[in-house]
Amino acid sequence: MDQRTKKIETVLAEDRQFHPPEAFSRQAHIPSMEEYAKLYKKSIHNPVSFWESVANELVWFQKWDKALEESEAPFYKWFVNGKTNISYNCLDRHLDSALRNKAAIIWEGEAGDQRTLTYSQLHKQVCRFANVLKKLGIGRGDRVAIYLPMVPELVISTLACARLGAVHSVIFAGFSAEAIRDRVLDCEAKLVITADGGWRRGNILPLKNIVDEAIQDCACVKHIIVVKRGENDPFPCHMKEGRDYWYHDIIDGVSAECAAVPMDSEAMLFLLYTSGTTGKPKGIIHTTGGYMVYTYITAKYVFDLKPQDVYWCTADIGWVTGHSYTVYGPLTNAATVLIYEGAPNWPDKGRFWKMVEEHAVTIFYTAPTAIRSFMKWGDEWPNKYNLSSLRLLGTVGESINPEAWIWYHQTIGKGRCPIVDTWWQTETGGIMLTPLPGATSTKPGSATLPFFGIEAAVLSEEGKEAEAGILAICRPWPGMLRGIYGDSQRYKQTYWSKWPGKYFPGDGAKKDKDGYYWILGRIDDVVNIAGHRIGTAELESVFVEHESVAEAGVIGIDHEIKGQCLVCFISLKEGRQATESLAEELKEWIAKKIGRFAMPEKIIFAADLPKTRSGKIMRRLLRDIASGRALGNVTTLADANVVEQLKKKYEED
C-alpha cells in the first residue's frame, strides 16, 4: 500500500474528538466556536476591515493607503505605503508601561547557565548592537548572515538588523561551511555574525572556524562579528585583523540609543533559505508590515498569549518556526519567551521537563519528531517533574500521528491542556491551519481549520474541489512570502502556476465531513526529516559532486522517530568499488556539504538507476523498491532489468 493511501486510511479511522476544557475556554481570547465562526466569516467577507483592525493594534509611523494591492498578482502588496518597524513593535512599544520590566527572554545554556533580559534591557542591547552594525557600514537593505547557536545574541542580532532596515538571513547552526557559502553568496551578505562555539550534548560546535572556511570565496563579506560563547580551547578562533571583531569588544561603550528606522511595509525584513524541488535552495523573502501583523495575531490567538504566560517554542531560530514564534510573534505580544541552547537529552532525558518545572512554563510548542523521542525515552522522565504550570501544548513540522498526539495529551498535558496542531510553512510566514485552543474541538492528527483570513481548499490537479487531493490557499494573506530572492519567475512558477490565483503549498491533504483538514505529506520531492525540509534534488546534486559517484536517486521513506528518513540509490563511476567504507564516506560527504541533520539513513549501490526513456530518474520506482511494494508501471523504463537488480540488492542489504 502506498504511504499516502495508508495515511488516508489511518485518518479515516481516527474519530476521537477532544473538546476545549471549559476552564480554558472561559479565559481564552477566542472562547467558543461561535466566536471563531463569527470572526472567521468577517475576515473572509471583509478582509480589508479585518486586517486593518489587526494592524491598528500595532504602531505605524505612517498609516498605509491601501490594505491589499492585487493589481500585479501574484506580487501582492500589503499595507501599501505604510511605514513601521518590527523591532520598534517588539520592544519600544512596550516600554511606556509596566511591561518594560517584564522578562522578555529567559535564556538557559546547555550547561545550566541562565540569563534574563527584561524588555527594557533587551531594548538597550538591541540598540547598542544596531549602533555597532551601523558603525560597520550596515544600513537599509544590506544583507547580514547570522550563524549563531541559540543564545540571546541571536535574538538581539535579528532585532538589531530589523531596527536598521537591514535584511537578516539566519543560517541554522547545523549547516555546513558549503551550505553557508551558498547562502551568503546568493544574498551577497556584507557581514556575518557568529560565535566561537555553541554547546550541543556537551560538545562545542566550532562555528567561527566553519564560517572562516565558508567565506574564503565570499568577497562580499566585509566583517565578521564573533560572540564569545564557548570556552573554546579545542578550536581557537583566528581573528583576522580589521575584518573580525569580538562582539563584547566592539559593543563596549556604544550608545544604547538608536531610533528605529521607519521602514516601508513592503521593505524586505528577512531571507530564509529552504529546500524545493530543484538543487538550489530558495531564499524566501518576507517583508515588514504584513509579516508583522500576521505573526502578531497568530501568536496571540493560537497560543492564547496572556501577560502571565511563560512561553517556550523549542524550535531553533535557524528555522522559520523560531523566527515567527520565538522572536517576532511572541515579542510583538510582549510575551515572556524561554530560549534553550542545547539538546533535549542533556545531561539526561528529563532536561525539557526539568526546565518546564523550573521556569513554570505555561505554553509549550514542539515538533512531532521530538514527541516521538520523548515517548520512546519513557514516561519516567516527564513523570519526575511537576508539569502543572502547563496550560497549552502545540506541535508543528509534520503531521502528528494520533498515538503521539494522545501520549502528548496524557503524559505531558495530563489531559488538561488543549493541543494546537499548527500547519504552515517557511513560505506562509505564520500559522495557517490550526485549532484555536479555547474554541476548536481537536481530532488527533488533524490541523483542523483555517486561521482568520485564510481561505483553504482541497483540490484535484485540475483545480476541482476534492475530498482527498492537494491543499490550496485561495487568496493572499499578510504573512505570505513576497518572492524568492533573485528569482521572481521561480516564485510565480513554484507557488502560483498550478491553479490561477491560488497558492500551491506542495502538500497533500484531505478534508473530512466537519471541514477539518488532514495533511498527508509533501507531494513533491521534498522530504521532511525530523521536521526539516530537504530537497531530494539538492542531495542528488551534492552526491554527483563526489568523485566516485556517477548518478544518485534519493527518496524519503517512513521512519519511526524522524517521520521520514533518506534512502539514497547510488551508481558508481567505472572502476569504483561499492564498499561499506565508501557508503560511510558518502554519508559523511552529505554531512560535510549540507549538514549532519541531512545524513542519509541508507546508501544502496546499484549498477544503474531506473530511468524513463527521456533520462529522468524514476523516484516512484525507487520508493516502490524501498517500501517492498509490488512494482508499479515500468513500461516507460529504459532498461527494465535495472529495477529487478536494484530490488534484489535492496532486499539483500
SS3 category, 104: strand
Cα 80 to Cα 87, 271, 289: the distances in Å are 19, 20, 9
**Smaller CB distance to ligand WTA: residue 162 or 302?**
302
* Alpha-carbon span 547 to 342, nearest angstrom: 36
Instruction: Annotate 525-591 with DSSP letters as a single string.
Output: SEEEETTEEEEHHHHHHHHTTSTTEEEEEEEEEEETTTEEEEEEEEEEPTT----HHHHHHHHHHHH
From 157-165, 396-404, 479-487, 645-653, span contacting ligand WTA (CB under 6 A)? 396-404
State which of residues 157, 194, 362, 426 lies at the interface with ligand WTA (CB under 6 A). 426
State which of residues 303, 423, 452, 516 lies at the interface with ligand WTA (CB under 6 A). 423
State which of residues 357, 398, 525, 624 lies at the interface with ligand WTA (CB under 6 A). 398
State which of residues 31, 330, 397, 556 lies at the interface with ligand WTA (CB under 6 A). 397
Instruction: Annotate 343-382 with DSSP letters as a single string.
Output: -TTSSSTTHHHHHHHHHT--EEEE-HHHHHHHHHH-THHH
113's CB contacts (< 8 A; 6+ apart) are none
What nine digits make up the cell of 426?
Answer: 517557511
If one asks whether residue 536 binds ligand WTA (CB under 6 A), the answer comes out as no
If one asks whether residue 411 binds ligand WTA (CB under 6 A), the answer comes out as no
If one asks whether residue 7 binds ligand WTA (CB under 6 A), the answer comes out as no
**Smaller CB distance to ligand WTA: residue 74 or 435?**
435
Site string for ligand WTA, 356-395 (x = CB under 6 A): ----------------------------------------
Identify the residue whose cell numbers are 574564503. 216
From 59-67, 115-123, 205-213, 418-426, span contacting ligand WTA (CB under 6 A)? 418-426
If one asks whether residue 469 binds ligand WTA (CB under 6 A), the answer comes out as no
Give the residues across from 612 on adjacent strands: 637
If one asks whether residue 54 binds ligand WTA (CB under 6 A), the answer comes out as no
If one asks whether residue 341 binds ligand WTA (CB under 6 A), the answer comes out as no
**Smaller CB distance to ligand WTA: residue 129 or 407?**
407
* Alpha-carbon span 325 to 311, nearest angstrom: 10
Name which of residues 476 to 505 contact ligand WTA (CB under 6 A): 505
If one asks whether residue 424 binds ligand WTA (CB under 6 A), the answer comes out as yes
**Smaller CB distance to ligand WTA: residue 88 or 407?**
407
Identify the residue whose cell numbers are 470572526. 39
If one asks whether residue 399 binds ligand WTA (CB under 6 A), the answer comes out as yes
Cα 112 to Cα 28, 246, 347: the distances in Å are 34, 24, 10
* Alpha-carbon span 194 to 223, nearest angstrom: 11
Residue type, 588: E
State which of residues 3, 10, 81, 425 lies at the interface with ligand WTA (CB under 6 A). 425
State which of residues 190, 533, 619, 623 lies at the interface with ligand WTA (CB under 6 A). 533
Helix (H) or strand (E) holding 421, with range, is strand 419-421
Q: What is the DSSP letter of 612?
A: B
**Smaller CB distance to ligand WTA: residue 176 or 422?**
422
Name which of residues 437 to 456 contact ligand WTA (CB under 6 A): 447
State which of residues 295, 326, 373, 422 lies at the interface with ligand WTA (CB under 6 A). 422
Least distance from ligand WTA to the Cβ atom of residue 3, Å: 13
**Smaller CB distance to ligand WTA: residue 225 or 594?**
594
**Smaller CB distance to ligand WTA: residue 121 or 399?**
399
398 with 406: CB under 8 angstroms?
Answer: no
* Alpha-carbon span 211 to 176, nearest angstrom: 9
Helix (H) or strand (E) holding 643, with range, is helix 641-652
Using CB under 6 A as the binding criterion, the count of chain residues that bind ligand WTA stands at: 22
* Residue (of 349, 357, 411) closest to 387 by Cα position: 357
From 72-80, 86-94, 316-324, 451-459, span contacting ligand WTA (CB under 6 A)? 316-324
Site string for ligand WTA, 146-185 (x = CB under 6 A): ----------------------------------------
Q: Given CA atoms 462, 465, 466, 468 in this order, what sign does their dihedral have? A: positive
Least distance from ligand WTA to the Cβ atom of residue 327, Å: 14
Interhelix angle 580-593/177-187, nearest 10 degrees: 30
**Smaller CB distance to ligand WTA: residue 287 or 422?**
422
- The radius of gyration of the chain from alpha carbons, rounded to an integer in Å, stands at 24
State which of residues 396, 454, 554, 646 lies at the interface with ligand WTA (CB under 6 A). 396
**Smaller CB distance to ligand WTA: residue 60 or 319?**
319
Least distance from ligand WTA to the Cβ atom of residue 397, Å: 5
Least distance from ligand WTA to the Cβ atom of residue 380, Å: 28
Least distance from ligand WTA to the Cβ atom of residue 518, Å: 9
* Residue (of 498, 492, 443, 439) closest to 471 by Cα position: 498
**Smaller CB distance to ligand WTA: residue 472 or 549?**
472
* Alpha-carbon span 14 to 17, nearest angstrom: 9
Long-range contacts of the stretch 634-639 (C-beta < 8 A, 24+) = 634/610, 636/612, 637/610, 637/611, 637/612, 637/613, 638/610, 638/611, 638/612, 638/613, 639/608, 639/610, 639/611
**Smaller CB distance to ligand WTA: residue 103 or 171?**
171
* Residue (of 485, 494, 490) closest to 526 by Cα position: 494
Q: What is the DSSP letter of 599?
A: -
Least distance from ligand WTA to the Cβ atom of residue 424, Å: 5
Name which of residues 504 to 523 contact ligand WTA (CB under 6 A): 505-507, 519, 522
Residues that bind ligand WTA (CB under 6 A): 274, 319-321, 396-399, 421-426, 447, 505-507, 519, 522, 528, 533
